[in-house]
Structure 1
């Protein structure tokens, strides 16, 4: 199945053959002739903290990269954290070359690179942290996408008192810049197209996360602010195959106490034995997450295997790309939105429900928002298979 797709500007790509089919539907391709290069801006976080950001490069010398076996496995990680108020340089959204490669991979023409690469963010580079003990949330992007596509969610969680590790997995995005300007491209794409199962991606990412946690919690941690992390309160969320990777990581690493899958096929990531009593949130769309049939069968399978606290929520009117912030940025850049749910509103909904989930299950603070439909969020449907 063909990987490249032209669904919408800067979107994360699907992880299953069924989702690939949706991605290549020509009716989803919007016109680009009228797009200009306006300023774009991520929404302001709603929490009480300012947000800081550092970037960490990790090399797992004990593990070969599955896509380029001659090389060790590498990760690029953006660390977001509660920071002291004050000025400073705003963290860049992405480099021009990363966005250029994304647009080329998406086969999009006429879209100004800097409409995305220069998007305004809210995190300050190397800001002084607010000392404390905070839960850690790992975020994993969709296949072919980079960690920057989850920037709005990263900033929101950090503003609410979380440490966030947004991960780029080498060889699995159209373009991720490594130290020295070295660019990692989607080596995995050709191998997946040639028949390598997508489950290999989720399994690889699960081990990436275990290595990341080892590196952050070691006696000599790789991140200078690692003392902020409460190692007993770790969760993970991901979009598309990143969501399946959250379940896969929980299956092999008991340190991950709670997980969220944002519209990704599970593809067996939840084992038959389940994930114990650990909580899991399934946040999807109408098109591929219809309880009881007519959607992605892996969601029904995963639901039956999850034995702890669980919710299956649908963002009515959303599409696969609504869970990443790039859809909202694309709207600001002038790209018509083909979905019923506006990109900016989808970001608000995603931030609200993911944050509520982790507040309840990593902080122990009850969240009525997770108990049933809320008048403030009529687009969110609670499914009860």
Structure 2
């Protein structure tokens, strides 16, 4: 069975690579999509090794583990437009809110350079500038909707499946049609 799975994955990957990028063409739902970030803490777990993960400077170990929670929700009207680099900026605040605004552009640029490797950076900068479907500060749609909890894979960014989360929110988070 595992050989069959590997063959399917290889065929899928070769098709995606041949296209240059995966195209998402499922129909979007009737709702505008809102997005917000909520920073929480887990007081049952300590966090950190005494060094700031972004700057490397010595800091006191935190007594609570920070949790970055991303919320996509059905909205009654769109809010402030977002681009993909708004998602990349979230990498800077995975371990808590960022107090130094100069860190965010450095984190975005570092991620783009990491993806680009020896390839020209301009293609990745173009991706970072592309609009996304979600908008910030959007007014939530009235009504009650099911809560969908999505957890990214190990050591990946919370927004790794942003298109899926936007798509589900556009349909009212699982609301039957």
| TM-score range normalised by the length of the shorter chain | 0.5 to 0.7
Change (3 A) 1:43 1:64: farther
Q: TM-score, normalised by structure 2?
A: 0.57
Offset of 1:120 from its aligned partner?
1.6
| Equivalent residue runs for 1:182-331 within 5 Å | none
* Alignment match, 2:54: none
Which among 131, 136, 149 is matched to residue 142 of structure 2? 131
| Equivalent residue runs for 1:147-166 within 5 Å | 147-162=158-173
Deviations 1:24-73 (A, max 9, x none): xxxxxx8xxxx9xxxxx9768611111011111112233213x6483221
The answer to whether the 8 Å contact 1:49/1:84 transfers is yes
Q: What runs of 5+ residues in structure 2 fail to find an aligned partner?
A: 1-5, 7-16, 51-60, 90-104
Which among 75, 91, 109 is matched to residue 83 of structure 1? 75
Structure 1 runs (4+) deviating above 4 angstroms are 41-45, 103-107
* Alignment match, 2:156: 145
The answer to whether the 8 Å contact 2:75/2:138 transfers is yes
- The DSSP-based 3-state class of the residue aligned with 1:114 is helix
* Alignment match, 1:58: 40
Number of corresponding residues: 129
The answer to whether the 8 Å contact 2:81/2:136 transfers is yes
* Alignment match, 2:118: 109
Offset of 1:114 from its aligned partner?
2.0
- CA distance in 1 between counterparts of 2:25 and 2:77 reads 18
* Alignment match, 2:87: 93
- The DSSP-based 3-state class of the residue aligned with 1:124 is strand
- The DSSP-based 3-state class of the residue aligned with 1:155 is helix
Give the alignment's Cα RMSD to 1 decimal.
3.6
Offset of 1:142 from its aligned partner?
2.7
- CA distance in 2 between counterparts of 1:105 and 1:86 reads 32
The answer to whether the 8 Å contact 2:35/2:138 transfers is yes
Q: Tell me which of the two structures has the higher relative contact order, counting C-alpha pairs closer than 8 angstroms and 6 or more residues apart.
A: 2
Q: What runs of 5+ residues in structure 1 fail to find an aligned partner?
A: 1-18, 20-29, 36-40, 163-358, 367-385
Deviations 1:271-291 (A, max 9, x none): xxxxxxxxxxxxxxxxxxxxx
